[in-house]
Amino acid sequence: MIRVVAAVLFLLLPFTASSEELAAGISRDKIEINSSFKGTEVAIFGSVEAAIGEIVEGDRARDIVVVVRSDRLSRATVRKKELVGPVWINRDARDFVNVPEFYFIATNRPLKDIAARSVQQQFELGLDNIVFGPAPGVVGGPIAFRKALLDSRIANELYAQHEGAVSFMSSTLFRTTLALPPNVPAGNLRIQVFAFHDGQITSSNSMTLFIEKTGIERALSEFSQREPLFYGLTAVFFSVLAGFLAAVAFRERL
């Protein structure tokens, strides 16, 4: 009888013991974009609560990795220009698919010191580990095209990697700041927070930040999706009209 009771307690022990918990939050969960939007910042914060009987400090402290990425994937074309005589022309191009429209990662120390390369690749941690590839039917091409795509997104403030940007306010409380540029795409941004120890994920949490267009920007966006052909023709018409009016005004000045 005693052996039976001991065996039952042994089986229940893993389920009754408390495990580590990662709590996380954001300063705001909705951003509205209009014609006057100049970009904004969102604070991401949280705490790591250790399991009962464990002390999280010193060399037992956790590493924190924060990843923010859009749920919308797009197709991107990278063109390589070459100088032919006095003119620059497009000589080669590569199409990529499943490209996140926005990507941000922040860590408390260098990513290479937090997790092994295999773990980084598995969870797409870091710009070099974002998974997107050539369009169907297109040969992969040189790595230079992928690098050019990343460089372009970084220059437009749509991609960012900040190692050391997560700061600890205590042994368990942490914080970082997400900078959203004026051209941040509308849609949902998924925020994932990972706690690491000894190169492995010990806990995680996720949230959603909603980016919505308002006013005339929203009306135009909905119109372009509902009537893409008519929207394109309208845009061409107004472009031609603007060019004609500019030409008339310039002619009158002469």
pLDDT digits (tens, 9 = 90+) for 122-175: 999 999 999 887 766 555 556 888 899 999 999 999 999 999 999 999 888 999
Give the pLDDT score at 77: 87
Q: How confident is the model at residue 222 (pLDDT cuts 50, 70, 90)?
A: very low
Q: pLDDT for 67-102, tens place per residue?
A: 999 998 988 888 877 766 676 676 778 888 899 999
Give the pLDDT score at 83: 67
Give the pLDDT score at 214: 77
How much of the chain is in helix, strand and coil states, percent to nearest 5?
A: 30, 40, 30
Q: Is the pLDDT assigned to residue 189 strictly greater than 60? A: yes
In the three-class reduction of DSSP (H, G, I as helix; E, B as strand; rest coil), residue 173 is classed as strand
Specify whether the CB–CB gap between 176 and 44 falls below 8 A. Answer: yes
Give the pLDDT score at 141: 58
Q: pLDDT for 21-65, tens place per residue?
A: 899 999 999 999 888 899 999 999 999 987 654 555 544 578 999
Give the residue among 99, 103, 112, 93 at the shortest CA–CA distance from 154: 103
Give the pLDDT score at 133: 76
At position 184, the amino acid (one-letter code) is V
Give the residue among 152, 68, 54, 64 at the shortest CA–CA distance from 108: 64
